[in-house]
């Protein structure tokens, strides 16, 4: 039972490159989320999704794109990476709108 | 906008001392959740409070939800080194759509042996 997985776990990329972070969950949870975590800022919501093909912006969506063609996958794309996007990215999912949230192990992204 | 404020940001205690972190919302919450993130790890769900004035305990941890459902606290009695980590509160706002959870910035707890 894999639960929620993220790939890659570590990524180094150069400024201007496109990067896609993958998130996969095996629970068929309706709701999925992408957060970034930086020192002093806690968890900041980038995008979230209530179901396949339903997505909405969070606090810090600029520079990111998401898609959700299948319930179990929620990839996050940095269209043109910038150094300010160096961060730890967490994907999360939950079954219902008020249920507990399960986090993936995170992806540590460094943009040089 | 809808916000969840959490204080303090950092707390350093000696092992055996108590610890409390507080959470306040600008609007009424339908429920509040607490998460713990160990250093280098990911946030892990601890508990959810739903009812006004609710108090729940998990061993040395006591969670409270305010009467107005706008504030909450987590109290740890007699901290241990295993309690080290960052504690986040997160609220579901009444009437919010798409299941968005509003996280506080977290309280980073350090415990000296």
State the Cα–Cα distance between residues B101 and B97, nearest whole angstrom: 10
Residue B16 is predicted with a pLDDT of 98
Partner residue facing B92 (CB), from A50, A90, A98? A98
Q: What is the pLDDT of residues A40-59, one digit of tens each?
A: 789 999 999 999 999 999 99
CATH superfamily of A4-49+58-97: Immunoglobulins (2.60.40.10)
Q: Are A45 and A58 in contact (CB under 8 A)?
A: yes
Contact B99 A54 (CB under 8 A): no
State the Cα–Cα distance between residues A20 and A31, nearest whole angstrom: 20
Chain B residues with CB under 8 Å of A40 CB are 9, 105
- Residue B82: C-alpha distances to residues A43, B39, B48, B110 (Å): 22, 11, 21, 10
Percent above pLDDT 90 for chain A: 89
Contact B88 A105 (CB under 8 A): no
Segment A8-29 shows an average pLDDT of 97
- Phi, psi (rounded to 5 degrees) for A97: -65, -20
Q: Is a pLDDT exceeding 70 seen at residue A29?
A: yes
Residue A100 is predicted with a pLDDT of 94
Question: Nearest residue of A to residue B94 by CA position?
Answer: A98
Give the three-state DSSP class for A111.
strand
* Low-confidence residues of chain B: pLDDT under 50: none
Q: How confident is the model at residue A67 (pLDDT cuts 50, 70, 90)?
A: very high
Q: Which of residues 65-94 of B touch A (CB under 8 A)?
A: 88, 90, 92
Chain A residues with CB under 8 Å of B42 CB are 90, 103-106
Contact A97 B104 (CB under 8 A): no
Contact B44 A103 (CB under 8 A): yes
Chain B residues with CB under 8 Å of A105 CB are 41-42
């Amino acid at each position: 039972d894999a639960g929620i997985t993220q790939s890659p776990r570590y990524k180094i990329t150069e400024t201007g490159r496109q990067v896609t972070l993958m998130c996969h969950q095996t629970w068929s949870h309706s709701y999925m989320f992408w957060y970034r975590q930086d020192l002093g800022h806690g968890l900041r919501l980038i995008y979230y999704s209530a179901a396949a093909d339903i997505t909405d912006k969070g606090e810090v969506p600029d520079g990111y794109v998401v898609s959700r063609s299948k319930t179990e996958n929620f990839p996050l794309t940095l269209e043109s990476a910038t150094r300010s996007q160096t961060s730890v990215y967490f994907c999360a999912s939950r079954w219902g709108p008020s249920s507990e949230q399960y986090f993936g192990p995170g992806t540590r992204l460094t943009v040089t | 906008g809808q916000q969840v404020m959490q204080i303090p940001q950092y707390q350093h205690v000696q092992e055996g001392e108590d610890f409390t972190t507080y959470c306040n919302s600008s609007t009424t919450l339908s429920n509040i959740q607490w998460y713990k993130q160990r250093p280098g790890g990911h946030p892990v769900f601890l508990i959810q409070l739903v009812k006004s004035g609710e108090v729940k305990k998990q061993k040395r941890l006591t969670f409270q939800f305010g009467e107005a459902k706008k504030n909450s606290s987590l109290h740890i009695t007699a901290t241990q080194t295993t309690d080290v980590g960052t504690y986040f509160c997160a609220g579901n706002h009444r009437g919010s759509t798409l299941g968005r959870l509003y996280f506080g910035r977290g309280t980073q707890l350090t415990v000296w042996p």
